[in-house]
Amino acid sequence: MPDIDSRRARSLILDELFDLTLYRRLRETQEGEARNVLDRLIPVEVKHFNFWQGFFKTTVDGLDYQRRIKLATVVAVCRIFGPAAVHLVLEAIEIHGVQKYLSVWEAYKDGPLGQAVREILEDEFRHEDELVSKLVSRKINPERIRSLFLGFNDGLVEILGAVSGFYAAFNQRATILMAGATVSVAGAISMAAGAYLASASEQEIDKIERGKAAFLDQVSAPAKEGHPLVLGLLVGAGYFLGAIIPLLPVAMGLKGLAFSLLAAGTMSVLVSALLSFLSGMEVRRRILTNLLVMSAAVGVSYAIGEFARSVWGFRL
């Protein structure tokens, strides 16, 4: 048996316990089909939790502090937003599970316990994927949720950069607010149009490929979900909502760039954590990447604003 990475072993078992505890908590708040799916997922998760404890010879009695906070947050969000949030959470957990289990398979596939790992992973992938996918596909379109939040993130970063440049060039609240609002509206329209055209083009190519496959009696990939116009509007709306965040302190009469930076930075961390959860990306890397991009946008825009003020004397 290969050497066991004790940190990865404990992390995987804690993740299984988190999923099991979450399913049990969510079951208490759900009715109908969602509750039936959770009833079927819980015994599967119990089986897997016990398997990994035996596999790694590690016993975990409770969640750590970080996962308890995460659990409370996810349960609260699901209570507020109802079944749609539950469906999205289940899909996100499925994505994270695939990443996690594949890393375990890579570590143990060539060893004496490779067959045991294969059997439990097949059970994980097939059983949970069947249950979760059927529920999610009938209730929500995850692509729409991601489009909304990705648009929000773009608007947040771009308008924070613009506001930083306006502060350096003008340092006058009314001018900054007017210029920021104008850029926000124009940016939202541009993002919506770009997302619409990109989605429409992608679906047109997809349609051609499926037609070609049908002609050749080949199996084609399923049609992509989401109407291009709807996805475009969601991206545009998300962009505008994100753009509002850096402008709110200015509109409230708070003076200084620091308030816009604080508001945007706080929201960026929250949105990055949410997008990481939905997409399966490692949360710390996502937050760090977003903060670095935001810092670059602020630094470059502020420098341009200072240059414009010094050269053309824009300060009012």
Q: What is the pLDDT of residue 1?
A: 43
Claim to verify: residue 74 and residue 176 sit in the same structural domain: no
Q: Which residues contact 1 (CB under 8 A, 6 or more apart)?
A: 111, 112, 113
Whether residues 157 and 208 fall in one domain: yes
Number of domains in the chain: 2
Task: Let me know whether 202 and 185 are in one domain.
Answer: yes
Dump pLDDT digits (tens) for 37-96. Answer: 888 888 888 988 888 888 888 888 899 998 899 899 888 888 888 777 787 788 777 777
In terms of domains, do 180 and 255 share one? yes
Q: Let me know whether 149 and 285 are in one domain.
A: yes
3-state SS assignment for residue 69:
helix
Are 249 and 259 in contact, with CB atoms under 8 Å apart? yes
Q: At 23, which CATH number? A: 1.20.1260
Q: What residue has token string 């996918």?
A: 133
Mean pLDDT of 236-249: 92
- What is the structure's pLDDT at 85? 79
Q: 212 and 192, same structural domain?
A: yes
Tell the residue number behind the tokens 């404990």, with chain if given.
10
User: What pTM value is reported for the model?
Assistant: 0.69
pLDDT tens for each residue of 174-217: 888 999 999 999 999 999 998 888 888 888 888 887 777 777 77
Residue 285 lies in a domain: yes
Contact by Cβ (8 Å): 75, 25: yes
Decide if 1 is inside a domain: no
73-87, 94-108, 282-296: least confidently modelled range: 94-108
Could you tell me which of 1, 26, 122, 153 has the C-alpha nearest to residue 77?
Answer: 26
Q: Which domain-ending residue is among 89, 118, 139?
A: 139
Q: What is the reported pLDDT for 262?
A: 92
Examine the domain organization and report whether 210 and 245 are in the same domain: yes
Residues 84, 155 within the same domain: no
My answer on whether 199 and 287 are in the same domain is: yes
Q: Is 163 left (phi over 0), alpha (psi -120 to 50) or beta?
A: alpha
Report residue 240 as tokens: 């505008």
pLDDT at 243 exceeding the cut of 90? yes
Range of the domain at 209: 142-312
Which ranges in the chain belong to alpha helices (H)?
6-27, 32-56, 65-81, 83-108, 114-123, 129-139, 142-169, 173-215, 228-251, 257-279, 283-312
Last residue of a domain, one of 108, 139, 170: 139
